[in-house]
């Protein structure tokens, strides 16, 4: 298939710049994969599409302030560093190394940067794939404490803010209400989860919906653009994913009893499908490791029966994933309906339920 098969024109005024308040008052477009017309609901109506014993799977990864602005030691010029993932090796006596993106002019190997508050870095390598490697003079908790102090909320570029105008509300709002401090590591929010409120989660639990958590630290694998003409030639960047054996066991039990598994967000889908694909012994073991799974049409889902997702960028791997679940033609019709109905798109936008 060609990447152009997943292109569409979106009016700029439909790109959401601010989130809906309250969170669960976003609109919800409901697409039935098997039959029936599209339905236009609100996110708090999601409970109507789940029954007791069904499993709702959420990604509990927490976003960290991954955007760092550094000053070049030599000239004082500015350079932007966007952190993606911690590398497995550490630089002796120099802290630790990270994979990152570099924005601005003058990025080169050996360049030293000052980020303020005692945090310094040095560009180690250009990986020649759009990513770079940088080492810091701190490591572990000390490094993360400084990153939290000097870093900025990593809002997507299509959310426009004036210089230094990142809203104070963004720090809390560009984060799910169930993000786990122990699962800090996403460079972007798992945005389908932004619609949930504590009250909605409480209502779901009261209905005996099983809520399970997985972890995928959102990085370049999720938001990197497809640059190949044929989608089959695209190579996903790896992202860290985790699912406990207890969660696997509960999902297997629910499916055996005829209940459905509803994933919240494409990241949750990728964890579930990665885990089920590697469950070679057919036992309920856990999963922890790097995944570069690329889900696109045609694909046979092993774990996921339904999906809560946002409206995605044209030609993105996320759009390809939802097309694999719902069918390319039905997704195309749904997106055209959403545009006519003036749904809000992308990270702070409205939601879709594919059931």
| Structure confidence by residue, pLDDT tens digits, 223-271 | 889 999 999 999 999 999 999 999 999 999 999 999 999 999 999 999 9
Q: How far is CA 145 from CA 12, 64, 118, 163, in A?
A: 37, 11, 11, 24
Which pLDDT score is estimated for 284? 64
pLDDT band at 299 (very low <50, low <70, confident <90, very high): very high
Query: Has residue 179 got a pLDDT over 70?
Result: yes
Short-list 141, 142, 148, 128, CA closest to 83: 148
184 and 217 in contact (C-beta within 8 Å)? no
pLDDT band at 192 (very low <50, low <70, confident <90, very high): very high
Query: For 29-47, what is the mean pLDDT?
Result: 95
Q: How far apart are CA 249 and CA 344, in angstroms?
A: 37
pLDDT band at 282 (very low <50, low <70, confident <90, very high): low
Residues 59, 72: one domain? no
CATH of the domain at 90: 2.40.10.240
Q: How far apart are CA 85 and CA 61, in angstroms?
A: 13
Task: Give domain status of residue 87, yes or no.
Answer: yes
Residues 217, 304: one domain? yes
pLDDT band at 119 (very low <50, low <70, confident <90, very high): very high
Short-list 218, 231, 233, 300, CA closest to 266: 218
Residues 140, 269: one domain? no
Which pLDDT score is estimated for 165? 57
Higher pLDDT, 280 or 327: 327
Q: Average model confidence (pLDDT) for the chain?
A: 93
Strands 306-310 and 261-264: parallel
49 and 352 in contact (C-beta within 8 Å)? no
* Straight-line distance from the first to the last Cα atom of the chain, in angstroms, rounded to the nearest whole number: 24
Query: For 295-321, what is the mean pLDDT?
Result: 97
CATH of the domain at 199: 3.40.1780.10
Residues 325, 207: one domain? yes
101 and 130 in contact (C-beta within 8 Å)? yes
Query: Has residue 166 got a pLDDT over 60?
Result: no
Task: Give domain status of residue 202, yes or no.
Answer: yes
Which pLDDT score is estimated for 104? 84
> To which H or E segment does residue 320 belong?
helix 317-326
Which pLDDT score is estimated for 34? 86
Residues 58, 71: one domain? no
Q: Name the token pair of 166.
A: 């990142």
Residues 17, 146: one domain? no
Residues 228, 334: one domain? yes
Structurally, how many domains does the chain consist of? 2
Task: Give domain status of residue 34, yes or no.
Answer: yes
28 and 42 in contact (C-beta within 8 Å)? yes
- The percentage of residues in the chain with a pLDDT greater than 90, rounded to a whole number, is 81
Phi-psi region of 262 (alpha: psi -120 to 50; beta: other; left: phi over 0): beta
Which pLDDT score is estimated for 167? 62
List the beta strands (DSSP E) in 236-294: 239-243, 261-264, 287-291
Which pLDDT score is estimated for 89? 60
Give the position of tokens 């992308």: 346
Give the global pTM. 0.91
Residues 176, 141: one domain? no
Which pLDDT score is estimated for 99? 92
Residues 217, 327: one domain? yes
Residues 29, 83: one domain? no
Task: Give domain status of residue 288, yes or no.
Answer: yes
Q: How far apart are CA 306 and CA 327, in angstroms?
A: 13
The domain of 93 spans: 67-150
> To which H or E segment does residue 276 belong?
helix 266-277
Residues 7, 87: one domain? no
Residues 339, 316: one domain? yes
Collect all residues with Cβ–Cβ distance below 8 Å to 147 and sequence separation of at least 6. 64, 65, 66, 68, 83, 119
Which pLDDT score is estimated for 220? 87
A 10 A CB-CB count for 48 gives 12
């Amino acid at each position: 298939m060609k990447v152009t098969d997943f292109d569409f024109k979106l009016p700029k005024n439909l790109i959401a710049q601010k989130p809906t308040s309250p969170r669960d008052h976003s609109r919800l477009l409901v697409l039935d994969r098997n039959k029936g017309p599209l339905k236009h609901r609100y996110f708090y109506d999601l409970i109507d599409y789940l029954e007791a014993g069904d499993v709702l799977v959420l990604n509990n990864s927490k976003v960290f302030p991954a955007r760092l602005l550094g000053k070049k030691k030599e000239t004082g010029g500015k350079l932007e560093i966007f952190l993606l993932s911690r590398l497995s090796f550490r630089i002796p006596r120099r802290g630790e190394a990270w994979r990152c993106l570099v924005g601005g002019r003058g990025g080169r190997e050996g360049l030293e940067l000052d980020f303020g508050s005692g945090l310094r870095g040095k560009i180690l390598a250009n990986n020649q794939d759009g990513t770079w490697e940088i080492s810091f003079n701190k490591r572990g908790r000390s490094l993360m404490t400084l990153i939290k102090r000097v870093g900025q909320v990593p809002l997507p570029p299509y959310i426009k803010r004036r210089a230094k105008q990142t809203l104070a509300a963004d720090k809390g709002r560009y984060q799910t209400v169930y993000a786990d401090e122990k699962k800090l590591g996403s460079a972007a929010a798992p945005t389908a989860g932004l619609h949930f409120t504590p009250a909605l989660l409480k209502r779901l639990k009261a209905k005996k919906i099983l809520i399970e958590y997985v972890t995928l630290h959102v990085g370049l694998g999720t938001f990197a653009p497809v640059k190949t003409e044929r989608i089959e030639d695209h190579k996903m960047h790896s992202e860290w994913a985790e699912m406990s054996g207890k969660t696997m066991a509960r999902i297997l039990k629910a499916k055996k009893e005829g209940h459905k598994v509803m994933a919240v967000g494409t990241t949750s889908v990728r964890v579930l499908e990665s885990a089920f694909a590697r469950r070679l012994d057919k036992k309920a073991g856990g999963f922890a490791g790097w995944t570069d799974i690329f889900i696109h049409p045609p694909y046979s889902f092993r774990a996921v029966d339904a999906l809560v997702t946002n409206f995605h960028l044209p030609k993105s791997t996320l759009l390809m994933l939802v097309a694999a679940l719902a069918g390319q033609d039905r997704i195309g019709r749904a997106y055209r309906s959403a545009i006519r109905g003036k749904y809000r798109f992308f990270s702070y936008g409205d939601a879709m339920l594919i059931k």
